[in-house]
Amino acid sequence: MITFNSVSKIYGNYHALDDVSFRIEDKEFVSLVGGSGAGKSTVVKLLLKEEKPSHGKIFFKGMDVAELKGGGITNYRRRIGTVFQDFRLILSKNVYENVAFAMEAAGRPEEEIVSDVPQVLEIVGLKDKEKNFIEQLSGGEKQRVALARALVQRPEVILADEPTGNLDPIHTWEIVKLLLRINEFGTAIVLATHDKEIVNFLKRRVITLKDGKVIRDEQNGKYQL
Amino acid sequence: MSGVSKMSNLLRIIKYGWLGFWRNLWVSVATVGIMVLALSVVSGLLVIGNIADTFVKELQGKVDVSVYFSEQADESKILQLQSSLEARPDVRDVEYISRDDALALFKERHKDSELLMASLTELNTNPFQGSLNIKAQKASQFDAIVSFIEGSGSAEIIDKINFKENEKVIQKLQSITSSIENIGLFFTIALSLVAVLITFNTIRLVIYTYRDEISVMKLVGASDWFIRGPFVFTGFLYGALSALITYLAFFFVIWLISEKAGAVFPGTDIFAYWSGNFVGLLGLLLVFGVGLGVFSSFVAIGRYLKV
């Protein structure tokens, strides 16, 4: 589904990614690990087309991501769900509206939105808080809203960039369990994290980055730098 | 995208524009307040322009040029000259005062002066000349009108034209009129530009506070139009509301000061101007306010859409 083919990203003289290649299949759960500055967030940014690779190619379902323009980028992003450490929610909208926004932006009909949003909020355990504004939620709840927003688009993959970075241990495990559940529904998960405990608990494929290079790529891998 | 989907997207854009206005009420109130100030500058210029225009016309209406005819002048030739003057677009009014009318006017004006009346009786003849009193559309047009009279073939019946005596007054008036027009134009352009810049920067600041949300919207796959639409609609609301408030505020203020303004500038009636041109003035403020709100929002959001 996702292919990185000798991808490098250079900022000035700094190599954020250096000749990185890997392939992620449908329905996979992959942890992308590494210390600060290893290149995890750069991979996410390149996948979201927030940035362009300096060298190499990125393919999503055979489509060259770098070639996408205008409406093509918009449609591509609708196929990918994203969850960030800082939640990136729309503060001026309530929980329901934040989740519904992704569907509205995709031009989905109202009846579908009215039916799907409550279901997804039920899955993430926020059905009773749908009218709350983001500032009225805890960190864990905010991240569950972000997950619901990603999930409601029925994406083929969810990119989670340090989704538990701002959460306490209880909320961290809530999010991890939700990601596993979403993966069971058939959505691929790319989890960028530096949380050793989570990675070792998951026992899934682990791609380890160091100084912008892939130093290890193992099934049932462990967190080791 | 189907027609139904387009319509539902349009309704969503309006809904979120409306919610954006109400949920950030203090930001909206502040923005509308600043736009009201900017539109007040435009409205003030309109009122001052009306006062200046009426005042200048009033002054110009008081200036005329009189052509005096010799005692033997054939009245039909005078009336012929009057007709040809009335046909000119730069002539506002031509009044013929015959010798008999002039005598009657003199008698009426000085009926209480025994000395003058006695002198007139002693003369035993009508000493007054027939004349044409000519008013031009603008003071600057008198020169051309006088040249026309002098070249009209009526020279043998004309005794004198008092243009030369009035020329200095006319030139002074011309210079005042042209100064008022030029200053008015300068202030209209300069202050309108200030109003545009203030409004544009205010809306730009409002949209700046939403920059993070805009980038999030882009990342979840919203199209530029779906993001921009609600902000543009909110800009529309800012403009429409500001125009309405400005019109009503001026209506009230003008109602209060109209009488005093009329006393200072005779002939002006700004309340009649403001209330009588309701459709045109409110329409102008709406076009200016809404246009500015929509344009500012549209442009200001552009830089944050490049994610």
- Residue-by-residue DSSP string for B27-81: HHHHHHHHHHHHHHHHHHHHHHHHHHHHHHHHHHHH--EEEEE-TT--HHHHHHH
DSSP string, B157-195: GEEEETHHHHHHHHHHHHHHHHHHHHHHHHHHHHHHHHH
3-state secondary structure of B88: coil
pLDDT recorded at residue B56: 75
Count of residues in chain A: 225
**For A70, how many CA atoms within 13 A lie in the half-sphere containing its CB?**
2
Q: Check A105 against B220: CB less than 8 A apart.
A: yes
Q: Check A74 against B221: CB less than 8 A apart.
A: yes
| Choice among A54-58, B39-43, B118-122, B280-284 with the minimum mean pLDDT | B118-122
Angle between helices B278-302 and B163-208 (to 10 degrees): 40
Question: Which residues are within 8 A (CB) of B12 and not within 5 positions of it... i.e. 6 or more apart?
Answer: A104, B226
Is B64 or B85 the better-scoring residue by pLDDT?
B85
User: What does the block give as tokens for A68?
Assistant: 């996408």
3-state secondary structure of B92: strand
pLDDT recorded at residue B164: 64
State the Cα–Cα distance between residues A38 and A44, nearest whole angstrom: 12
- pLDDT one-digit tens code per residue, A183-217: 998 999 999 998 999 999 999 999 999 999 999 99
State the Cα–Cα distance between residues A207 and A34, nearest whole angstrom: 9
The band of B151, judged by pLDDT with boundaries at 50, 70 and 90, is confident
| Dihedral sign of CA atoms B252, B254, B257, B260 in order | negative
Q: Check B219 against A107: CB less than 8 A apart.
A: no
| Dihedral sign of CA atoms A104, A110, A114, A115 in order | negative
Q: Do A198 and A176 meet the contact criterion of CB atoms below 8 Å apart?
A: yes
pLDDT recorded at residue A225: 76
State the Cα–Cα distance between residues A46 and A129, nearest whole angstrom: 34
- pLDDT one-digit tens code per residue, A139-169: 999 999 999 999 998 899 999 999 988 888 8
Interface of B with A in 159-178 (CB under 8 A): none
ipTM above 0.95, yes or no: no
- Looking up tokens 């682990």, which residue turns up? A206
Enumerate the residues of chain A whose CB falls inside 8 A of the CB of residue B22: none
pLDDT recorded at residue B185: 82
Closest-CA residue in chain B for A153?
A: B220
The distance of A99 to chain B (nearest Cα, Å) reads 10
Q: Check A107 against B218: CB less than 8 A apart.
A: no
pLDDT recorded at residue A77: 92
Whether the pLDDT of residue B265 is over 60: the answer is: yes
Whether the pLDDT of residue B176 is over 90: the answer is: no
User: Cα–Cα distances in Å, from B215 out to B223, B231, B297, B307?
Assistant: 11, 14, 16, 6
SS (H, E, C) B237-252: HHHHHHHHHHHHHHHH
State the Cα–Cα distance between residues B99 and B229, nearest whole angstrom: 76
Nearest beta carbon to residue B219 from set A48, A104, A107: A48
Q: Do A5 and A179 meet the contact criterion of CB atoms below 8 Å apart?
A: no
State the Cα–Cα distance between residues B204 and B198, nearest whole angstrom: 10
Q: How many CB atoms lie within 10 A of CB A28?
A: 17
Q: Do A43 and A20 meet the contact criterion of CB atoms below 8 Å apart?
A: yes
| Choice among B181-185, B253-257, B272-276 with the minimum mean pLDDT | B181-185
Q: Check A102 against B212: CB less than 8 A apart.
A: no
Q: Check B1 against A107: CB less than 8 A apart.
A: yes
Q: What does R_g of chain A's alpha carbons equal in angstroms?
A: 17
Q: Which ranges of chain A have pLDDT less than 70?
A: none
